[in-house]
Amino acid sequence: MSEDLHPRADELDNLTALDFVELMHAEDLAAVEAIRPQLRQVARAVEEITTRLGAGGRLHYFGAGTSGLVARLDAAECPATFGVAADLVQAHSADEPDQEDDRRLGIAEATKARLGSSDAVVGISASGRTAYVLGAFERAAADGVLTVAVICNPGSPLARAADVAIEVETGPEVIGGSTRLKAGTVQKLVLNMLSTAVFTRLARTHRGRMVGVVASNDKLRARAARLVADVGEGSTEEAARALDGAGGNPKVAIVMLRRGVTADEARALLAAANGDLGTVLAESRRP
């Protein structure tokens, strides 16, 4: 358990800086590898969440403390990365220390979220005992919502309450109980897998490319232009003109170039294919 004392705890104060960071690095590597036995559960969660979001549901993260911050980070990255609506992935977090012990707050937050039967709830908790998250699961279960637990303490109450439990046994932290270390790292990696695999399966990417990217600054606009030129099989100048005509939407710009259509026609083709760029581009070539 992450709350247990590390076997080398008594040595830490006397380690050199290099020895200290080497120890932390070794522990981080072991924690990452600890995900491997849970990959089937991660994949199962991906399939279940994909089915629900594909049916119009939303993805909700619930966490407290570090786990809540990790949840907020992953949720915040999804709109810009995948071009999804800002409310499709929502993070609910108990930020004050005493709030994580408040089961009723978790119930209230889940109730406020207006969970639907097509939604999915992911609870993130290093210990698997966080009352706030357990409360959210209680409400989700009452609403018939899929529940997925991401935890670092096998056999916990949260695992027992979940439809899918991803239990990554990271072991004691270098600083006892400091779950921002290995546990926090592992939680972010698992959420990376969940959100990235889900939105790839929902055609929010194309052949490993961020075709849903929101070009909101110079760096992203340049990235979008390169992307459109690559997938759209056009020059940089053609890509820039198509992007401008598409209102900055890379998918629309790519279809414009590859299918030789207007922006409105490209949007209609994408809508008919549920946004799947691969379907629209199947066997298409620029004229």
Q: What angle do CA 202, 133, 61 make, to 5 degrees?
A: 20
Euclidean distance between CA atoms 7 and 135, whole angstroms: 34
Q: Is 177 left (phi over 0), alpha (psi -120 to 50) or beta?
A: left
Q: In angstroms, what CA-CA distances link 161 with 27, 123, 156, 277?
A: 29, 10, 9, 38
What DSSP character marks residue 127? S
DSSP 208-273: TB-TT----SHHHHHHHHHHHHHHTT--HHHHHHHHHHTTT-HHHHHHHHHHT--HHHHHHHHHHT
**100 an active-site residue?**
yes
Q: Compute the distance between CA of residue 176 and CA of residue 8 in angstroms, rounded to an integer.
A: 11
Catalytic residue among 48, 77, 138, 169: 77
Contacts of residue 244, defined as CB under 8 A and 6 or more positions apart, other chains included, come to none
Which of 22, 48, 96, 100 is an active site residue?
100
Residue with structure tokens 């699961």?
137
Q: Rounded to an integer, what distance in angstroms lies between the CA atom of residue 127 and that of residue 179? A: 9
Residues near 231 by Cβ (< 8 Å), separated by ≥ 6? 206, 207, 209, 211, 254, 258, 277, 281
φ, ψ (nearest 5 deg) of residue 82: -110, -5
Q: How far apart are CA 36 and CA 122, in angstroms?
A: 19
Active-site amino acid positions: 77, 100
